[in-house]
Amino acid sequence: MKQLTVISGKGGTGKTTITAAFASLAKNIVMADADVDAADLHLVLSPEVKETYEFKSGCVPVMDESKCDQCGICEELCRFDAIQNLTIDLISCEGCGLCALACPNEAIRMEDHCQGHLFISQTRFGPMVHARLGIAEENSGKLVSLVRQRAREIAEKEGRDLIIVDGPPGIGCPVIASIGGVDMVLVVTEPTISGIHDMERIAGVARHFKVPALVCINKYDINMENSTKIEVYCQKNGIGVVGSIPYDVCVTKAMVHEKSIIEHDCGRVTTEMRIIWEKVQNSLQ
C-alpha cells in the first residue's frame, strides 16, 4: 500500500483539481482530504457521508468565578495574552493548561472541547476520509494526522493499493502532518515568481522530512520563461518534472459541473493529466 500527497506551497496552484483527476484515473484507492481548514475535494467527489466523528483533541479553560479571588496569577503566567482582566479569551487561548495548573484556588479547570469533525464517506471513486476543523480552532495538524490514520485503516481493511492525499497550502504544521511517512509528494506549482518562491520552500520541506518529490507545472503557458526556470531548478535538485498543464477555462467549467478534468474533457489539459498520472504511478512502483 502506497501513499501519495499532493502539495504546493503556494495556494491555488491546482492541488485539489489534480487530486480529483487522479481519483478518476486510479484504481483501488482511498482518498484523504488533508486540507481540514478549507476542504474542497468533496465539491468534486460528492461524498456520501457514512460515519461522522467528533474531533476532541484539546481542552479549553473554564473559570469558576465563585472560586476566583482575583489574584491575577493566571493572567501573569499566560504567554498568549489569553487572559485579560481575568476573562479568558478562547480565540487567543492555546489550551496549554498553565492557568489551571497555577491557580491557587483551583478556580480553572480544563474541559474537553470539540474542535471539529471527521467524516468517512463513499464516493464514485472509492472511500474518502475528510474533516472540518472548527472555526478558529487549534490542532489542525492533529486532525490531519487523524484523517491519514483513518485512511490507512480503511486501506488495510479493504486491501486498497494507494492512499491519495489532497494536501493543504503552506509549509507549516498541517502540511508536515500530511506528508510524514508518505512514499511520494507531488508538488503542484505555477510559473509565477510567487509560485517558484513557494515551490522552493515546500521542496525544502520535503527534503527536510526525507520524502521523495515530483513536480508538475500547472498553467505553464502563462509564462514560458518561468516554466523553464522551474525545470532547471528541478533538474539541479534531482526532482522529476512529470508534466506541464496548459491554462484552460475548461478547468473551471469542470469544477462548476462538479466533475474532475478527466470526466469533463478539457482537451490538452485532460491528455496531459493522463500522462502525468502514468508517470506518477510509475514513480510509486
Partner 1 sequence: MVISIASGKGGTGKTTIAVNLALSLNNIQLIDCDVEEPNCHLFLRPQIEKRFPVGIATPEVDESRCDYCGKCAEACQFKALAVIKGSVLRFSELCHGCGACSYICPQDAIEEKVREIGIIEIGKSGDIEFIHGILNVGEAMSVPIIRKEKGLVDRTKTVIIDASPGASCPVVMAVEGTDFCLLVTEPTPFGLNDLKIAVEMARELSVPTGVVVNCADIGDRKVWEYCTKERIPVLMEIPWDRRIAEAYSKGIPLVEKMPEYKDKFRELYDQMKALVEVGPAFSYVAK
Interaction site with partner 1 (CB under 8 A) = 8-13, 16, 35, 37-38, 40, 43, 58-59, 77, 79-80, 91-92, 94-98, 101-102, 110, 133, 135-138, 140-141, 168-176, 190-195, 197-198, 201-202, 204-205, 208-209, 222-223, 226, 247, 249, 252, 255-256, 258
User: Comparing C-alpha atoms, which of 131, 168, 123 is closest to residue 147?
Assistant: 131
The least CB distance from residue 28 to partner 1, in Å, is: 27
Q: Tell me the closest approach of the beta carbon of residue 106 to partner 1, in angstroms.
A: 14
Q: Which is nearer to partner 1, 71 or 77 (CB)?
A: 77
Could you tell me the smallest distance in angstroms from the CB atom of residue 242 to partner 1? 21
Q: Which is nearer to partner 1, 258 or 263 (CB)?
A: 258
Cβ proximity to partner 1: between 24 and 160 the closer is 24
Q: Residue 128 Cβ, how far from partner 1 at the closest point, in Å?
A: 16
Q: Least distance from C-beta 238 to partner 1, angstroms?
A: 17
What is the C-alpha end-to-end distance of the chain, expressed in Å?
10
Minimum distance between the CB of residue 250 and partner 1, rounded to whole angstroms?
11
For partner 1, the closer of residues 64 and 76 by Cβ is: 76
Cβ proximity to partner 1: between 121 and 226 the closer is: 226
CB of 11 or CB of 72, closer to partner 1:
11
